[in-house]
Homo-oligomer: A and B are copies of this chain.
Amino acid sequence: MTQKPRGRRPLKEITGPQRRTLKEIRRFLHQRGFPPTIKELADILGISHASAHDQVNQLVRKGYLRREPRKARGLAIIREPEDEASDMVPIPIVGEVAAGQPIFAQENIIGEVLVEAKLVRSGRCFALEITGDSMVDAGINDRDLVVVRQQPVAESGDIVVALLGDEATVKRLYIREEKIELRPENPRHQPITVGPEDELRILGKVVAVRNPGGR
């Protein structure tokens, strides 16, 4: 005896608050490397944890999230909203990059920028303010912001953020046999040659440049 449904019928599409919830989950995931708990999500959204729980359930029902019930942070994004191609995602701006510390230590994060979601989609990203003019011929000027995809390896020819000893530099990477070169894109600067014994760590690859001044 299935009766005709009366009042309002369940929505198939994603609603505004749900879209926002999904967005914050994505942001959390990219910045921290693991999903938020229901409570953390509630705090971020400024609603109660029971409401956040509701939101998550809706998103699971509509196929955007997968989850393992009764597990802390048992959340994973399995689908993106359809119109999401033109959407923007905030990524952290990292200030000082010290040698021994993780890049995403809270003290180091000095702000946020919006970037195209597709840039960020695969992997964790951060933004870095450039000091100096060593990459002007690659279109990277003093005080520009570069978007960096975090990755420990890079290919020859990539523009990378490298940690050389105690300092982070942005240079173009060239891998030759037996040695590695970090080349500036400015004839007035010297290339840096790195041997196997030097302490070089690739922090990530530059995937975009912003001109905050708009010059």
Residues of A within 8 A of B (CB): 32-35, 37, 63, 66, 68, 71-80, 85, 100, 102-104, 118, 121-123, 149, 151-153
Contact = CB atoms under 8 A, between A and B. Distances in A.
B122 A33 contact: no
A66 B34 CA distance: 11
A104 B66 contact: yes
Contacts of A75: 33-34
A75 B4 CA distance: 49
What's the number of copies of this chain in the assembled complex? 2
Contacts of A73: 34-35, 72-73
A49 to B, nearest CB: 14
B34 A74 contact: yes
Nearest to A68: B32
A63 B104 contact: no
A33 B76 contact: yes
Nearest to A33: B76
Given A63-B100, A72-B72, A118-B153, 16 more contacts: A33-B66, A33-B75, A33-B76, A33-B77, A34-B74, A34-B76, A78-B103, A79-B152, A80-B152, A85-B153, A121-B123, A121-B153, A122-B122, A122-B149, A122-B151, A123-B123
Nearest to A78: B102
Nearest to A72: B72
A102 to B, nearest CB: 5
Nearest to A105: B66
Nearest to A103: B78
A76 B151 CA distance: 14
